[in-house]
Amino acid sequence: MRRFVSELLNSYGYRVREASSAEAAFCVLEDTATIDLLIVDYAMPGVNGVEIIRQAWHQHPSLKALLITGDAGAVCDGLAGVRLLRKPFEPAEFLQIVAGILAS
């Protein structure tokens, strides 16, 4: 999923930084001054995407986030303003959601 999303965003001119784990994501957040959107999958090794967003907000309280999930029971508890995108999704739907979040 990470590779698909990254390639799709790159093909539409977005600059993408990938992370294969929560730890790697936090390193990217520390090393990058400006991140416009954090996109995470709910199912991550060791920690879920909701927790990654919560922790990221400690460093960047105004960071916009998109949570992708194939888990029908996944929710964005306590994450006001986080968009939830359920898998499977169409590339056009994903791109429209990303553009909408960035425009808000």
Q: Grade residue 12 by pLDDT with cuts at 50, 70 and 90.
A: very high
- Cα separation, 96 vs 7, whole angstroms: 16
Per residue in 46-91, pLDDT (tens digit) is 888 999 999 999 888 889 999 999 886 767 766 888 999 999 999 9
Q: Is the pLDDT of residue 38 over 90?
A: yes
Would you mind telling me the total number of residues written for the chain in this entry? 104
Phi, psi dihedrals of residue 34, rounded to the nearest 5°? -125, 110
- What are the boundaries of each domain within the chain? 2-103
Q: Is the pLDDT of residue 39 over 80?
A: yes
Residue range 2-103 forms a domain whose CATH class is alpha beta
| Token output for 89 | 């999704």
